[in-house]
Amino acid sequence: MTSVEERVDAPETGEDHRRWSSLYPELGKGPIDTERFISEERLDEERKLIFSKSWLNLGSVHDLQGNNSFFVRDVALLGVSLLVVQDKAGKIQVFHNVCSHRGNKLVWEADGPCPYQFACRFHGWGYKADGTLASVPDEEEFFFEGDLPNKSTLGLVPVRTEVWNGFIFVNMDKDGTETLLEHLGPLGESLQDFPFDTLELRYRYDVPDDANWKVILDAQNEIYHLPMLAPLHRFLGGGAFSTNEDGYTRLYDFERLGIHTVYTSDSDAEWVDTPLRTAMANLHPEYNVVKLPNRGPFVFHVQFPNMVIGFLGNFMFTYNIWPVSVGHSVWEIRMHYPKAKTLADRVCQDLMKVRFRDLLCEDVTGHAALQIGLTSKARPEIVLGEQEVQIRSFHKNVDDYIARSTNV
Amino acid sequence: MSNTVEQTFALPSGFEGLAKFRAWGLPTEGERIARRLETPMPEVQEYYDGMMAELPKIMAYLLERPATNTTAEDENLLFLMFSLHEIAQAVEIYGCGEVVDGADVRLFTSVLNRPGGEVA
């Protein structure tokens, strides 16, 4: 992305105060309604008009164990179980994880190497990695003649699948025509050449979270709360992220990338980390070496609708925030690092993990408290400031997407 | 063969002195979190101080060790370091094992448990 100062539409240099609302006047300055976080009807709209229409990220090649392996992803909101298969040649295809015989959920394991055939536990119908129906026990008793139906039509049902930079996406709209690259738009362009393949996945957390999926995303999609929320937040709010002279965090940059967004933060030069981390920075010669081509210490992309690709120092985190019901979600968190060369590198990976994990553990309590307050309907609207422009933009993107899908 | 505790918790040569912390040499994140939550803070502080004092020597050693084909001795040293990370914020930020004003940190236990995932 281009830095805000280099953009032709940039506000005057030094015009930090309320610069984003002047750069993006279409986002407005007013409050937004709370109904969107607590209404069954709204979630129903999102299910039909967003999650059933949009490209959705299911994870990445790191969730597979290489060629000839699989993982299963159940998407509660859509009521589907999906089987993600990488065949022996490396091609990735997603299928409905459903046996064609009596409709049983086919694979019950979470992941693993592909078996000789994916065999249904009910009656043993077996499918090859390419989805074709390979074996039917006691086949002579079936009526695979003509179109009764013919056995060749009884393979696993494929789902539209595309892979971008190792990230695996599906689109449940079988009649849709938008490609993944069209969906990713300027976000995809800005990260197209990023060296994702140099990273390794080390940790994944599937955190049950008592909040609407957008409450969780919104709470992560700003740093205004850092100096206030909880002990580790307050510590990091003291300068790990850029602050002004009054101690309030300041975005370094924010950009709308089609229906996606990105914001960045720098850190204060004089900020001092904890004794352990300060010692480690002195003891590992590469601790502060920038290995990833990011434009700042903290970069946070929201990949519409429910994914985040973020960078903090030399590690990448991704979120997949899956709605389960109006007030409940699963927050999938993955942490990736440049591949460790030494055991000292492994130590640094773990150190970064614990810092980030405890920080997000503080956030979870905040999410639940937000949902309680919103659900009370004490107020019909929430108020957003200039340092929350990302949230304003996200909700406009959600509203616009629903409006477009409604009109199609 | 005698079967002393020291022999079941082998450490690389030169780090035998850390064997007194063997109870912190835990292979999984779940075990380390549990110990962080259940250990009285004076004992946590003692572990923190003991490991911090050895940090220059430990890191100098680990910088020379490749990330693959890890020996059992090196793995134990790694587990001691992971436990140091686990309790460092208890000492430096929270003043207790729990994530203060946060959720139950046991919710954050990595679900990966395979080569390439968490060392487990």
Q: In what order do the strands lie in the sheet with A92-96?
A: A56-60, A167-171, A158-164, A92-96, A80-86, A69-75, A111-113
Residue B15 belongs to a domain: no
Average pLDDT, stretch B47-75?
A: 97
The answer to whether A1 and A255 have CB atoms below 8 angstroms apart is yes
Please give the Cα distance from A260 to A308 (Å, whole number): 10
A377: DSSP letter: T
User: Inter-chain contact A274–B67, Cβ cutoff 8 Å?
Assistant: no
Total domain count, chain B: 1
Q: Is the minimum CB–CB distance between B100 and chain A shorter than 8 Å?
A: yes
In the structure, what pLDDT confidence band is assigned to residue B2 with cuts at 50, 70 and 90? very low
The gap from C-alpha A277 to its chain's centroid, in whole angstroms, comes to: 28
- Report chain A's mean pLDDT, rounded to a whole number: 94
Number of H helices, E strands in chain B: 4, 0
Lowest model confidence (mean pLDDT) among A60-69, A170-179, B3-12 = B3-12
* Chain B neighbors of A365, CB-CB under 8 A: 101-103
User: Inter-chain contact A351–B64, Cβ cutoff 8 Å?
Assistant: no
In the structure, what pLDDT confidence band is assigned to residue A146 with cuts at 50, 70 and 90? confident
User: What pLDDT shows up at residue B67?
Assistant: 94
Instruction: Determine the structural domain holding residue B47 and report its residue range.
Output: 24-107
Residue B18 belongs to a domain: no
Residue B81 belongs to a domain: yes
Residue B5 belongs to a domain: no
Q: Tell me: the pLDDT tens digits for A192-217?
A: 999 999 999 999 999 999 999 999 99
Chain A interface mutation, best of B31, B58, B101, highest count of A Cβ atoms under 10 Å: B101
Q: Domain boundaries in chain A?
A: 4-53+186-407, 56-171
Q: Which residue of A has its CA nearest to B119?
A: A202
User: How far from A106 is each of A72, A80, A118, A125, A132, CA to CA, in Å?
Assistant: 10, 12, 7, 9, 13
Interface of B with A in 37-96 (CB under 8 A): 52, 55-56, 59-60, 62-67, 70, 74, 77-78, 81-82, 84-86, 88-89, 92-94
CA distance B38 to chain A (A): 17
| Cβ-based burial of B46 (10 A; exposed 0-12, middle 13-18, buried ≥19) | middle
Q: Is residue A16 scored above 90 in pLDDT?
A: no
Residue with tokens 């572990």: B47
- How many Cβ atoms are within 10 Å of A369's Cβ, its own excluded? 15
User: Inter-chain contact A343–B74, Cβ cutoff 8 Å?
Assistant: yes
The more confident residue out of A394 and A1 is A394
In the structure, what pLDDT confidence band is assigned to residue A382 with cuts at 50, 70 and 90? very high
Interface of A with B in 314-343 (CB under 8 A): 339-343
Phi, psi of B119 (to 5 degrees): -65, 120
Residue B113 belongs to a domain: no
Please give the Cα distance from B110 to B107 (Å, whole number): 9
Residue B2 belongs to a domain: no
Residue B1 belongs to a domain: no
CATH of domain A4-53+186-407: 3.90.380.10
Q: Which CATH number fits domain A56-171: 3.30.230.10, 2.102.10.10, 3.90.950.10, 3.40.190.10?
A: 2.102.10.10
Average pLDDT, stretch A121-148?
A: 94
CA distance A270 to chain B (A): 19
- Report chain B's mean pLDDT, rounded to a whole number: 90
User: Inter-chain contact B102–A346, Cβ cutoff 8 Å?
Assistant: no
